[in-house]
Chains A and B, each alone.
Chain A
Amino acid sequence: MSGLVLKGITKRFGGTLAVEQADLTFEEGALTALLGPSGCGKTTLLRMIAGLEAPSTGSITLGKRNITDLPAHKRKFGMVFQSFALFPHLNVRENVAYSLTISGASKTAAAEKASTLLDLVQLSAMGDRRIGELSGGQRQRVAIARALAQEPDVFLLDEPMSALDAKLREEMQVELRLLQQRLGITTIVVTHDQREAMTMADSIVVMSNGRVEQVGSPQDIYHRPENAFVADFIGKANFFDGVAEAGGIRVGDQTLVSKSKFHAGYQVRVAIRPERAALDDAEGPNRLPATITFVRDLGPHREYHLDTAIGPMVVEYAIGEGARPMKTGDHVEVRLPPDALHVFPHPTAAMAAE
C-alpha cells in the first residue's frame, strides 16, 4: 500500500456545502491532522475517507486502488470515534476482539490478539471489565486497541481527545504519537485543538468553511501562514488592516516597511506573531510609540498589551528573556521587524477577487 489520495472531494448536504474541492495526499506512515474550527467540514471529510459518507464528487484512492464507492466494512480502515463508540454489551477484551470475532477468527487467535493489543495500550489487567467501569482515558485506549485489531491500512481518529481532561489529553497526545510511530500506520486525526495537532502531526491540513486553507508541517503552518485565517487560527497574531504601497503597507497614518507582493492600493491585512514584535532599543524600521495598557504574567511567558498608533497589539516575552521589566502606563517603542510581518489580502478583497 502507498498513500491515500483525495481528488476534488466535495460533499453537499442538500443546499449546504460541507466540503469543497479537497485535493489531499496523505503520505504512507505519516500522521496528518485535519485542523479547523467546529463545522469546517473536517469530520465530514474523515467520514468520507472511512466510507461512512459518500462524496458528492471526487475520488479517493489508496495506492492504485479507487475506493470511492467501496463500503466502509470493506475498506479495512480502523476508526476511533469522538464518543469512542465502545459496545456496552461486551467487555473490554470482547470489544478489542470484535473485528476478529466477526471475521471468523478462532476464539484462541482472537483472544491472543486482544491480549497483545491490550498490552500495547497498557490495559492488560482490564480485559474482563465492563465498559461502564472504565475511566475516559481507559475507554480511549480500548477504542484505539479495538481499531488496531484488524491491522488497518489507514487509522482514523475523530477528535479522540475531546472527552478527556486537559492533563490526560496532553499525556495521551504523546502516547498516541509514540504508538503511531512504533506501528508506522498512515494516520489521520481530526481535531480543533491546534496544540494537539502540532504535538502529534507530521503534517497539518487547516480547514475552514469546507475548504482546505493550507497544508504543511506544523512549523510551516505556524511560521509561514498562507492567509489571515491560518495566521489567526494557528497560534496568536496581531492584525492590522491597511493598503499596499511601494515598499510597504500604509496602516492608518503609519507606513510599515515590509516585503509586500501586492500592487499599490490593494487592501491588505498585516499579521505579526506576539513573540516576533519587540520592545527593545535595537535599530531598524517600523518603530512605533506605544503605551503599555496591561501586563499579564502567564508563568512561562509574559504578555504586554499595548496601545499603538496603528491599533492595540500584544507582545510576548519568555520569562527571563527581553529587556528591562515594564509596567502598565509605561511609554515604550515597539519594533515590528519587516521579515516578521505577514501580509495577506484583506478578507473582503479576497472574497471580491473570488
Chain B
Amino acid sequence: MSVADGIDPPLGEETAPARAPFRWSRVLPWGLTALIALFCVVPFLLVIAISFGRKIEGAAWVWDFTFENYQRFFVGTLWPDEVTFLYLQQLGYSFWYAVIASILAVITALPFTLALTRLSRRAQAAWLVFILSSLSLSEVFIVMGWDILLSNNSGLPALFKSTGLTDWLKAVGWFDTLREWGLANPRNVKFKTSEFATILTMSYLVWPYSVILLYPALSRLDPSLSEAARTMGAGNLTVLRTVTLPSVRLPLFGTTLLLFVFLLGTYVAITVFADPSKHTTAVAIYSNVRGANLNAPFGATQAVILLVSASVCLVLGHTLNRWSEAR
C-alpha cells in the first residue's frame, strides 16, 4: 500500500469511474466464434433438424418431428409387417470399404515412409514435396485415371489379353480363381465393377495422406532402438515386429482411424467402381438429397447416422487404445 492510498479526494471532486477504451482484441474472439457457429454449427444443426422432417409424396418435404426416417433406415418402411436392412447394408459397405482401404493404405505406406526417413534430407524433402503436390489432385481426376487403367476395353484387361497373360492364367488354372472372385468374365479378366477396384482406388486416394501422417512419427523414431535390437540378436523382421511397430503403434492406429473416417464419405470411386448393389451410404445420401429420390429428410437421416457411426468408431478406437496403453 502506498502513502497516497490513504488520502481522501478533496471535497467537491468526485472520482469518476475510468472508462475502458474499446479494444478490437476483446471483440474478435466473440466475432470469430459467432462466424464459426454460423457457418459450421448451424448447417450441421439444420441437417439434424431436417432428418426429423417428412417427405410429401410427389412434392418437396416439410418440417416435422417424426422418427419415420430413422425407422426406415434401421428396419425399412414396411416395419413391422416386413423388415428390410437395405440401408444398414449400405452402411456396412461404407465401413467395409473404408476399413479395408485405410488398412491397405497404411500397410503399404509404412515401409515406404520408413525407407523415406532413411534417405538424405534432400531426397526426403523432394519426395515429400512430390507427395504433397499429389494431394492437389481431385478425387474425380484420380478416379478417372483409374477408370481408364482398369477399363475392360483400354486398360489392364486389354493389356492382359494382348500380351497373352489371360491365356497363361487360363493355362495355369488361376483364371477360374479370378472368376470366383468376380475379377474375370468368361473371356478375359475384368476389374470393373469389383470390390478389388473400389478398394484399390480408395487406398490410392488416401495413400499420400498416410505417408504425410506417418512421416513425423517415423522420422522421430530413434534409430538406435532398432540397432540395439540387432545387437541383441534380432533380425530385420524381428526388429520390425518387436521394436518398430510397437514404437509407432499410436501413430499407426491414429492414421488408420483418420483415413477410415475420411473414406466413409467417398463418393466418386464408389459410383464408378462398385457394383450398384454394393453402394454405400454416401452414395445413397447424394441420391436422396440431389439425385433421383429427392427425399432430403431421409438423406439427412442417413448423413446423421453416418456421422454418429463414425463418432462411435472414433470413441471406440480411443477407448481401445487407452485400454491397451494401460495394459
Contact = CB atoms under 8 A, between A and B. Distances in A.
A72 B234 CA distance: 9
Contacts of B144: none
A103 B234 CA distance: 8
Contacts of A262: none
A203 interface: no
A85 B224 contact: yes
Given A85-B224, A85-B225, A102-B242, A72 B230 contact: yes
A87 B247 contact: yes
Interface in B96-138: none
A75 B247 contact: no
Interface in B204-237: 222, 224-225, 227-235
Chain B interface, DSSP helix/strand/loop, else mixed? helix
B319 interface: no
B233 A73 contact: yes
Contact of A76 (B222, B233, B235, B247): B233
B247 A85 contact: no
A79 to B, nearest CB: 4
B246 interface: yes
Range for the number of chain B residues in contact with chain A: 10 to 19
A149 B232 CA distance: 9
Interface in A111-148: 146-147
Given A87-B243, A102-B238, A81 B228 contact: yes
Contacts of B229: 87, 98, 102
A87 B227 CA distance: 11
Contacts of A149: 232
B290 interface: no
A50 interface: yes
Contacts of B246: 87, 89-90
Interface string A77-103: 111011101111110000000110011
A21 interface: no
Given A73-B235, A102-B242, A87 B230 contact: no
A90 B243 CA distance: 9
B231 A77 contact: yes
Contacts of B179: none
A89 B247 contact: yes
Contact of A72 (B222, B227, B243): B227
A85 B222 contact: yes
Scoring A50, A79, A85 by chain B CB atoms within 10 A of each residue's CB, the highest score goes to A85
A52 interface: yes
B228 A79 contact: yes
Contacts of A88: 247
Of B227, B228, B235, B249, the most chain A CB neighbours within 10 A belong to B228
A156 B238 CA distance: 22
A83 B230 contact: no
Given A102-B238, A102-B242, A87 B225 contact: yes
B227 A81 contact: yes
B192 to A, nearest CB: 43
A90 B235 CA distance: 19
Nearest to A81: B224
22 contacts: A51-B230, A51-B231, A52-B227, A72-B230, A72-B231, A73-B230, A73-B231, A73-B232, A73-B235, A75-B231, A78-B232, A85-B227, A87-B229, A88-B247, A89-B247, A99-B232, A102-B229, A102-B234, A102-B242, A147-B231, A149-B232, A150-B232
Contacts of A98: 229, 232, 242
Q: Ordered nearest first, which 3 A-B pairs have the shortest CB separation?
A: A99-B232, A85-B228, A85-B224
Contacts of B247: 87-89
Contacts of A75: 231
A72 B225 CA distance: 14
Contacts of B230: 51-52, 71-73
Nearest to B227: A52
